Amino acid sequence: MQKYISQQNFTALLDALIKQGTRVVAPKLNAGTVLYEPLAAAGEMVADQLPRRSGKEAFFPLCEEIMSYEKTGQQVALTDIDPARFPETVLIGVRPCDAAAIPVLDAVFSWDYKDEFFLERRRKTTVVGLACTTADDACFCTAVGISPAETRGSDLFLSPLVGGGYRCESYSDKGEALINSHSALFAEPSGAEALPLAEPQTEKFDLKKVKAWLDEHFEDPAWDSIATRCVGCGACAFVCPACHCFDIVDEGTEKKGKRRKSWDACGFWKFTHHASGHNPRDQQPKRYRNRIMHKFKYYDDKFGQTLCTGCGRCIRLCPVGIDIAAIVEEISKKEV
Amino acid sequence: MHPEKTSHTFEPKVIAFVCTWCTYAGADLAGTSRMQYPSNVRVLKFPCTGRIDPVFILKAFQQGADGVLVSGCHPGDCHYIAGNFHARRRFAVFRKLLEFVGVDLNRLQFSWVSAAEGGKWVEVVTDLTERVRAMGPMTEFKELALEEQWSGVIDTPELKEAFSQI
Amino acid sequence: MTQSIDTSSYSAITEAIQAEAQRVLGDGTVTAVIGYAAARRKGSAQPIVISQADDAARLIFTPACVNNLAVYLTKAKKEIPRNGRIGIVVKGCDLKALVGLMGESQLKRENLYLIGIPCSGVLASTIQPDTELTADTLASKCRECDAHQPTGCDFVPPQLPVAPELEKKYQAEISRLEALTPAERWAYWKEQFAKCIKCYACRQVCPFCFCEQCLCDRNKPQMVETTPRPAGNTAWHIVRAMHLAGRCAGCAECERVCPMDIPLNLLNRKMAKELKELFDYEAGFEVNDKGPLTMFTEKDDQSFIK
Amino acid sequence: MSRIGVFICHCGENISRTVDVERVAREVGLLPGVSFSTDYKYMCSDPGQNLLKNAIQEQKLTHIVVAACSPRMHEKTFRKAVEAAGLNPFLCEMANIREHCSWVHENKEEATVKAVEIVGMMVERIKKNRILPGITVPVTKRSLVIGGGIAGIQAALDIADCGHEVILVEREPSIGGHMAQLSETFPTLDCSQCIMTPKMVDVANHPKITLHTFSEVELVEGYIGNFQVTIKKKARSVDEDKCTGCGVCMTKCPQKKIPNKFDQNIGLRTAIYVPFPQAVPNTPVIDRANCTWFKTGKCGVCQKVCGPGAVDFEQEDRLIVEAVGAIVVATGFDLYTIDEKPKGSAIKGYGEFGHGKIPDVIDGMTFERLASASGPTGGKILRPSDGKEPKQIVFIQCIGSRAREKGISYCSKVCCMYTAKHTMLYHHKVHDGQAYVFFMDARTPGKSYDEFWRRSIEEEEAVYIRGMVSRLYQKGDKIVVMGSDIAVGVQVEIEADMVVLATAIQPQKGADTLAQKLGISYDKYHFYSEAHAKLRPVECATAGIYLAGACQGPKDIPETVSQASAAAAKVMTLFSKDQLEREPIVARVREAGCVGCFACKKVCAYGAIEEKEIRDRQGNLIKTVAYVNPGVCAGCGTCQATCPSKCVELDGYTDEQIVAMIEAL
């Protein structure tokens, strides 16, 4: 289904959704930084900037409580979180690189153990993608086979038009249902031209070749030259739309506390630190190798997908300028 | 006859970190002398104020303290030569940090109470308790403790409802 | 019209660094040189460790050379080889960290070969590295830099740094916050700390966060909650500021690398300001046997103690 | 899993009057981990302790909390009882519900609630308590005494008489120190040398004392019970073993006009010399700076005349290492030098009193040498300038002392008394002379001291003028002293033949350097600091090091001797056992996490923290970490609060224990 929505009606749509109690999550300025956050009013949406963090946290929050406990005398009371109480959500203004990561996450959260925290939010969320019209030299979605108009992962996809408004195209029942729920705000598509798409500068990687090299080079001096300078923070993983490692900790006192799940990162020294004191990834290059391996080999081995959508966030935000696009490009040029 | 006990609607939690040689002994003296003071204070004994890590003060506020007292030997009286001098510097700086992040320093009291100053102990504890009582509960850290990070935002109606259910 | 900062000397500085690195690697004075090299993105730079004289040509100095490379010499970075003397390219601000590390038994001067940079300033952020250096894009720390010309180095190119007089943003912001009520300041920091995602980039780039195991990574006892929630975040940033008090010399790497734009260096600079006022201590100028919080005088201020 | 037993004491009615002890026992009994709780009338009584011991056995308790009085009162009692029942004593804690609760609150409900919380905190704490084994440190029963003045001599003799070996190190060629220089001593006017030299001889002859004169302490390593001391024996140029002390060398030495320091430079000596006739050892030393042989390579007379062939021009400084268990520091004092500003010192000189410029302005110690029967004038008071007997003599007190503006604010303590003595000695020797004393106050506390001072005025006719001297200058062969008599309110001008300045007592030069070698602390004047001004006046904060005499602060002879004997007693206490036993509340380093910043070492007031190298099996250095010497650590915990990664932990007060208590709130 293809429709047109004017800028004015788009604002009205968001306000209407908010009013009816739907959680509307969109890029929004938060203490100086644009993040995907629930809106209190449509006017808060910032459409022209790539949010600093990805859209994954609409389903896979930075930190969430999964259980609480309380001891009284010899009794221990455990209280679970009921995912059924998660709110209906519209995630809107999602960049193609963020939206394309959602099916990637679907795979890992449902292949063996069904993660109800993720899946319930996923069921209750309608994803509205937004075509990208600007790119910088960190953007490389096209290099990993995604385009600035990629609709993968979106239930509804918006393309900004010359002269304002959006062309809307639905790709699922959820997308269609969203249009139908406020059909008065949508019109039939006009002949207006879409704004020109962003043009990332990176050439398409030969991901097969990259994987072929990775298959053979778990041990390779290249890892040292790539990542000796890595300082071991979690910035790359935390801003990544596809990274999905998490840690579970109990916080509180012996008497009372909560079990929480929060993002983890393979760059951390603690990530593979065993209780024995041994750490199989004892040096930073080994940890960074895992990041590349996971994205371009292990995930492919398991799910036939690449765990990178080319958003470029890790490149922009790496404290020491590690450039995953440059690394993959370099690997793709190596003899297999 | 004892004077009529005033009843208060708010009973603050006051935590005192004290050294064993001076202030703890001073508090013992207050007891031996049967002096009276509000029952709000809970005393944690350390060998020396030099042992008191600023993190403990932070932890106390996080655990719901409305006021924190740190007390040790007068300068020059330290049983361990200089522990209180090190503590004095440490806390001179730490209180400035807490102030800068927005903690009202009226909730954080430092004092020197010697083993002979039972009366001063009573005065310091009473003053702090009454001052904090007048200020009302320390809500800042308690509110933080209740907040969950959930998609970056914490004050949506749904979440508020979720909290009230939890 | 924003004032542009003259960085015309940077290309000559680059050449001088290259020549010096080639010399000291070639004659065996050092086994490696830590410096900056150009990266893929236009105008970008990244840290590099070279051990061959031929690689000296890769070294550069540009406004995108923001990193404080001192972090690579700390024990936290075990990946950098530690045999023999190591050359390092340092700006004046980075040098202060090295001075502090020497005072804390982490480094020995004789194991270092310091290639100083007469630095006029670097970019505030390298999210977009290909940006002209102006009063607007200049890093805040450079606006109040007192070490454009590094001292006590083994080699410094002859070019002189320019240092235009600019408004001191940190000072102004600290004064602004100090003038607020505690409740207002709490609200400000609460909003800022709420953004924290506990990626620990601030810790990992800090030359003084060289602990083998951070207090905040320990769980017996759990001094600071590890999850990125407002409570744990606030505790983490308070502990971080306290642990750096008297040590941080204001390289502001913590703030630069924060993916969530939290003005972290404000806390460190506030602490530095207090240490200056309370104990007349300034970090980073000389190798001190003891820092301000590992020493005392009998006459220290105690006006706050009853 | 812990099985905690909680015992609530009624303390007669002291606790139970305001705290509902049964309710406390009931409520804490519900706390996780508590498997037994009860209350009892008197926990500290024998039946109470038996109740505790039986419960440990019957209930298989692993941890004990006794809620009763202050731990300062009965912690030891209950820990002993727990130990008797087979538990480690540190698995018992006390909750103070008497001094901190029942005695300070009247409202029973409030007091009871508070008591429950106090006990609850201790229950959480004790879950984190660990077994702490006692600490023992071996003790080497030999002692080092640094300084051979009366303090060092007394300490050495006392320790040696007790049967322990003593190594006595003296910087000068002879022991004796300043006391050997004195003429007579207040308040009895005993001849100093008469009472001093027998003790010096005792030292020389004592089988347990090894004497190293003309020697200095070079390096001190180790800790209480286990010090290694490197001593530098400076080249004497005379073999001590061969020399018989006949003195021929000295009579033949052609260099005869060298000022003798022992005589305050008014007497003369030869280049090969003993400082004074009664020197111990009676072995000369060659003053190489003034010896013709060493200056020109010619002469060698002493070597030629020495029968036993003891003179050895080739002798070099030697280092010897001694293992000792305790160190007594008795380095004594020096006099404030008033004619020059000491280098690097903030203390200003007293140029206005002409010392060093006017030859007949002398200091008190020079007067002692003039008055000494064995001194350069044979005990006659004669002016250094012309050898005439002074008929008018002015003594000025508090030169340096109590002069804040000059940099010394303390009282030198002995000058009032020795000036009174000087006026007496003067009057005894110059019957027609008149002594005047300018003074601020006369400080004469001490047995028979005030009587002595009064005697100087009432019987020996000294004129005391209360006031300070404003100006002093040479006029012909007289010295005009102008001052004010504030008691009468008039200006005074005296034409004196000689002026004696009571200069301040200061620590020996180099006291700071020695302190750094020993790892002991000192004040801004470089007097050594005692561990506690009142209760530990002879011990240093650094365990195993003790102080005697004026190195700690100005003292007279009786005080010095008392302190020396006290220091000796402390050493003997330490030596009374083969192993030193310590409460195991000491810090420990978690070496795996230590990053070697040594912040802990910087804040440790006891020097308990050392640097330790960790090496792999091949011997390669992995890292250098901190190590806490349990024999030295006093257990304050300042190191732990300072350590950024908390890799040093104070046993008994670990972060886990403290956080558990905070979290119990």
- Structural tokens at position C21: 């690195």
Task: Give B158 to chain D, closest Cα distance, Å.
Answer: 30
**Which residues between 30 and 49 in chain A have a beta carbon less than 8 angstroms from any beta carbon of chain B?**
30, 35-38
Best C260, C261, C264, C266 member to test A by mutation, with max A CBs in 10 Å, is C260
Handedness of CA C278, C280, C286, C290 (dihedral sign): negative
Asked if residue D325 and residue D187 are part of one domain, the reply reads yes
Q: Which residues of chain C have pLDDT under 50?
A: none
Give tens-digit pLDDT for D333-347.
Answer: 999 876 655 555 555
Last residue of a domain, one of D488, D506, D524: D506
Of C183, C190, C293, the CB nearest to B89: C293
Number of domains in chain D: 5
- Binding partners of D (≥3 Cβ pairs within 8 A): A, B, C
Give the model's pLDDT for residue C218. 86
- The single-letter DSSP state of residue A298 is I
Q: Which domain holds residue C196?
A: 169-294
Contact pairs from chain B to chain D, CB under 8 Å: 132
Give the model's pLDDT for residue D346. 56
3-state secondary structure chain B: CCCCCCCCCCCCCEEEEEECCCHHHHHHHHHHCCCCCCCCEEEEEECCHHHCCHHHHHHHHHCCCCEEEEEECCCCCCCCCCHHHHHHHHHHHHHHHHHHHCCCHHHEEEEECCCCCHHHHHHHHHHHHHHHHHHCCCHHHHHHHHCCCECCECCCHHHHHHHHHC
Q: Which domain holds residue D417?
A: 338-506
* Cα distance between residue D75 and residue D96, in whole Å: 10
Asked if residue C116 and residue C27 are part of one domain, the reply reads yes
Asked if residue D106 and residue D18 are part of one domain, the reply reads yes
Average pLDDT over residues B32-61: 96
The mean of the pLDDT values for chain B is 87
Handedness of CA C274, C275, C279, C284 (dihedral sign): negative
C221 and chain D in contact, CB less than 8 A: yes
| B54:C242 CB<8 A | yes
Cα Rg of chain A (Å, integer):
21
Between D352 and A111, whose confidence is greater?
Answer: A111
Number of domains in chain C: 2
Asked if residue D159 and residue D260 are part of one domain, the reply reads no
ipTM of this model?
0.91
- Binding partners of A (≥3 Cβ pairs within 8 A): B, C, D
Of A73, A254, A277, the CB nearest to D30: A73
| D124:A254 CB<8 A | yes
Last residue of a domain, one of C125, C143, C161: C143
Task: Give D531 to chain B, closest Cα distance, Å.
Answer: 7
Torsion angles phi and psi, residue B8, rounded to 5: -115, 150
A162 and chain B in contact, CB less than 8 A: no
Query: For residues B27 and D99, is the Cβ–Cβ distance under 8 A?
Result: yes
Give the model's pLDDT for residue B162. 46
Give the model's pLDDT for residue B166. 39
Asked if residue D482 and residue D347 are part of one domain, the reply reads yes
Query: For residues A179 and A170, is the Cβ–Cβ distance under 8 A?
Result: yes
Best C36, C41, C257 member to test A by mutation, with max A CBs in 10 Å, is C41
* Cα distance between residue A320 and residue C69, in whole Å: 10
Contact pairs from chain A to chain B, CB under 8 Å: 40
Asked if residue D563 and residue D468 are part of one domain, the reply reads no
Task: Give A75 to chain B, closest Cα distance, Å.
Answer: 19
Contact list, B162 vs chain A (CB under 8 Å): 85
Give the model's pLDDT for residue B61. 95
Average pLDDT of adjacent 10-residue blocks, chain A of 336 residues: 92 92 92 91 91 93 92 86 89 96 95 93 95 93 94 96 93 95 90 89 91 95 92 96 95 89 94 92 94 96 94 95 94 88
CATH of the domain at D188: 3.50.50.60
Of B35, B80, B122, the CB nearest to D605: B80
Give tens-digit pLDDT for D443-493.
Answer: 999 999 999 999 999 999 999 999 989 889 999 999 999 999 998 899 999
User: Tokens 């003899």 belong to which residue?
Assistant: A335
* Cα distance between residue D432 and residue D614, in whole Å: 78
Residue D444 lies in a domain: yes
Give tens-digit pLDDT for D416-429.
Answer: 999 999 999 999 99
Architecture of domain B14-138: 3-Layer(aba) Sandwich (3.40)
Give the model's pLDDT for residue C79. 78
pLDDT of B8 > 80? The answer is no
The mean of the pLDDT values for chain D is 93
Residue C300 lies in a domain: no
| D32:A253 CB<8 A | no
* Cα distance between residue D663 and residue C199, in whole Å: 27
Ordered by start, the domain boundaries in chain A are 2-185, 207-332
Distance between terminal CA atoms of chain D?
22
Asked if residue C286 and residue C206 are part of one domain, the reply reads yes
Give the model's pLDDT for residue C1. 54
Average pLDDT over residues D640-646: 94
Give the model's pLDDT for residue B149. 62
Of A32, A262, A285, the CB nearest to C228: A262
Helix ranges (DSSP H) in D185-240: 192-205
Give the model's pLDDT for residue A85. 86
User: What stretch of H or E contains D210?
Assistant: strand D209-212
pLDDT of B6 > 70? The answer is no
Residue B1: pLDDT band by 50, 70, 90 thresholds?
very low
Give the model's pLDDT for residue A82. 87
Per-residue exposure over C102-137, b if at least 16 CB sit within 10 Å of its own CB, e if not: bbbbbbeeeebbbbbbbbbbbbbbbbbbebebebeb
Residue C127 lies in a domain: yes
Residue C39 lies in a domain: yes
Query: Nearest chain D Cα to C215, which residue?
Result: D645
pLDDT of B164 > 50? The answer is no
Of B148, B152, B158, the CB nearest to A87: B158
| B53:D521 CB<8 A | no
Closest CA to B105 of B74, B135, B75, B144: B135
Give the model's pLDDT for residue B165. 46
Contact list, C190 vs chain B (CB under 8 Å): 102, 140, 144
CA angle D25, D26, D28 (to 5 degrees): 65
